[in-house]
Amino acid sequence: VQLQASGGGSVQPGGSLRLSCEASGSMFGVDGMGWHRQAPGKLRELVARITSGGSTDYVDSVMGRFTISRDNAKNTVYLQMNSLKPEDTAVYYCIMQGYDAAHILRSYWGRGTLVTVSS
């Protein structure tokens, strides 16, 4: 299973970006999906997650600005980021929890996409 993230880039403060992450390969059902980020010199942190039922959680710092969504038919997770701030600058990683052929739940990570917010 491979996760391909896209949509990162450079944007001015107050701008918007939409990240996408599509999974390819064999997963026999997908459970949770999410986005983490790692800023320079900082630990990786959970930004947002969405359950198979559509329930969402966000880190406080992005609440009201970011929206996570998913397309189960496409095994794709999105992160709409609005009102971006310089402190949102980080490499963003997507994660999916999917079942393998033995019905074992595994976590799969994308390689990361860089988001830079700067004037």
pLDDT score at 114: 97
Give the integer Cα–Cα distance in Å for 46 and 88: 12
Burial class (CB in 10 A: 0-12, 13-18, 19+), 119: exposed
Output the average pLDDT for the chain: 95
What pLDDT, on a 0 to 100 scale, did the predictor assign at position 81?
A: 98
Predicted confidence at residue 28, as pLDDT, reads 83
Q: How far apart are CA 46 and CA 27, in angstroms?
A: 23
What digits encode the pLDDT tens for the residues 17-55?
999 999 988 778 889 999 999 999 999 999 999 999 999
